[in-house]
Amino acid sequence: MIEIKNIEKSFGGVKILKGISTVFETGKTNLIIGQSGSGKTVLLKSLLGIHTPESGKICFDGRVYSELEQDEKRELRTEIGMVFQGSALFDSMTVAENVGFPLRMFTNDNSAKIQERVDQVLKRVDLVDAHNKLPSQISGGMQKRVAIARAIVNRPKYLFCDEPNSGLDPNTAILIDNLIKEITEEYDITTVINTHDMNSVMEIGENILFLKDGLKAWQGTKEEIFKTDNQDVVDFVYSSNLFRKVREAYLKE
Partner 1 sequence: MLQAVFNKQTKWSVMKKLIFKEIDDLIISSLGIVAFISFFVGGVVAIQTALNLTNPLIPKYLIGFATRQSVILEFAPTFISVIMAGKMGSFITSSIGTMRVTEQIDALEVMGVNSLNYLVFPKIIALLLYPFLIGIAMFLGVLGGWMAGVYGGFTSSAEFINGAQADFIPFHIAYAFIKTLIFAMLLATIPSFHGYYMKGGALEVGKASTVAFVWTSVSIILFNYILTQLLLGS
Q: CB 235 → partner 1: shortest distance, Å? A: 31
Our CB check for partner 1 shows the closer of 76 and 202 to be: 76
CB-based contact 127:95 (threshold 8 Å): yes
Query: Taking CB under 8 A as the rule, does residue 128 contact partner 1?
Result: no
Q: CB 88 → partner 1: shortest distance, Å? A: 4
CA-based nearest residue to 247, from 194, 202, 211, 208: 202
Our CB check for partner 1 shows the closer of 135 and 214 to be: 135
Binding mask 189-218 for partner 1 (x = CB under 8 A): ------------------------------
- Which range in 13-21, 78-86, 197-205, 224-232 contacts partner 1 by CB under 8 A? 78-86
- The helix (run of H) or strand (run of E) holding residue 191 is strand 190-194
* Nearest-angstrom CA–CA distance, 29 and 191: 5
- The helix (run of H) or strand (run of E) holding residue 9 is strand 2-11
CB-based contact 8:18 (threshold 8 Å): yes
- Which range in 77-85, 123-131, 175-183, 205-213 contacts partner 1 by CB under 8 A? 77-85
Our CB check for partner 1 shows the closer of 76 and 134 to be: 76
Neighbour order of strands in the sheet with 14-24: 14-24, 2-11, 55-60, 63-64
Query: Taking CB under 8 A as the rule, does residue 153 contact partner 1?
Result: no
96-115 positions binding partner 1, by CB under 8 A: 101-102, 104-106
Please select the residue that binds partner 1; options are 26, 35, 66, 78, rule is CB under 8 A.
78
* Nearest-angstrom CA–CA distance, 139 and 190: 28
* Nearest-angstrom CA–CA distance, 7 and 73: 18
* Nearest-angstrom CA–CA distance, 125 and 176: 9
- The helix (run of H) or strand (run of E) holding residue 225 is helix 222-227
Q: CB 185 → partner 1: shortest distance, Å? A: 23
15-74 positions binding partner 1, by CB under 8 A: 48-50, 74
- Which range in 86-94, 114-122, 171-179, 235-243 contacts partner 1 by CB under 8 A? 86-94
> Count of H helices and E strands in the chain?
10, 10
* Nearest-angstrom CA–CA distance, 236 and 229: 12
Q: CB 78 → partner 1: shortest distance, Å? A: 5
- Residues touching partner 1, count (CB under 8 A): 23
CB-based contact 180:206 (threshold 8 Å): no
Please select the residue that binds partner 1; options are 91, 185, 188, 223, rule is CB under 8 A.
91
Binding site for partner 1 (CB under 8 A): 48-50, 74-78, 80, 82, 84-86, 88-91, 101-102, 104-106, 160
